[in-house]
A and B are shown apart, each in its own frame.
Chain A
């Protein structure tokens, strides 16, 4: 995965708009990817996951896209709400279950009223 950054990128969107958060990963052997939401002072909360044999997966208001060719992952949040304000991390792993996760830098999503 990506190296840890010294600061978090910020994405500011208007309430009701769609948000797209991007993530690049470096390990071509990774086969399981997860998006997490983290609110201040709390642990990561699972949003959606995708296996490497898929390129798109949809959940409630969220969609994850995986492009293995360029090692890129994105999270789309539809009709953002104030409660979506948080830091979003992508995470990857090779083995699934037995191996820990490598987290991306994170993106701070701010919802403007």
Chain B
């Protein structure tokens, strides 16, 4: 089955630094990748949608200059949290799809970001 690998699983960084999270589709080419954010005991919220080779589409209220997304190949998307602050601490999860209707979405294992 489709597998999405997300790395790192946990990261602690100092306030003001940047953190990069990688999302790879291991056994399929992901036309579209998605980034979600999840606060404790809450649901997942879509942050942005990225298609290989084009600019990401951000959801309303998500700062594109703060959450930089790069989708350089059909198997890799990265999310960089720039100038991180404690309020950016959250669980970030990527997802990938083939871009075809009704084929489902595969999720990564998530990255726990703690900004101190």
A residues near B (Cβ < 8 Å) are: 4-8, 32, 34, 36, 41-46, 49, 51, 89, 95-106
Contacts and interface: CB of A to CB of B under 8 A. Distances in A.
The interface centre, meaning the residue of A43, A44, A49 with most chain B CB atoms within 10 A of its CB, is: A43
Given A97-B98, A100-B34, A5 B104 contact: no
Contacts of B99: 97-98
Contacts of B28: none
Nearest to B34: A100
B41 A44 contact: no
A98 B44 contact: no
B45 to A, nearest CB: 6
The interface centre, meaning the residue of A4, A44, A46, A104 with most chain B CB atoms within 10 A of its CB, is: A44
Given A5-B42, A8-B41, A103-B44, A49 B49 contact: no
Nearest to B59: A100
B101 A100 contact: no
A43 B6 CA distance: 10
Given A32-B101, A97-B103, A100-B34, A43 B43 contact: no
A102 B42 contact: no
Given A36-B107, A42-B109, 19 more contacts: A6-B41, A8-B41, A34-B104, A41-B91, A41-B110, A41-B112, A43-B6, A43-B108, A46-B105, A46-B107, A49-B102, A97-B31, A97-B100, A97-B102, A100-B46, A100-B59, A102-B46, A103-B36, A106-B42
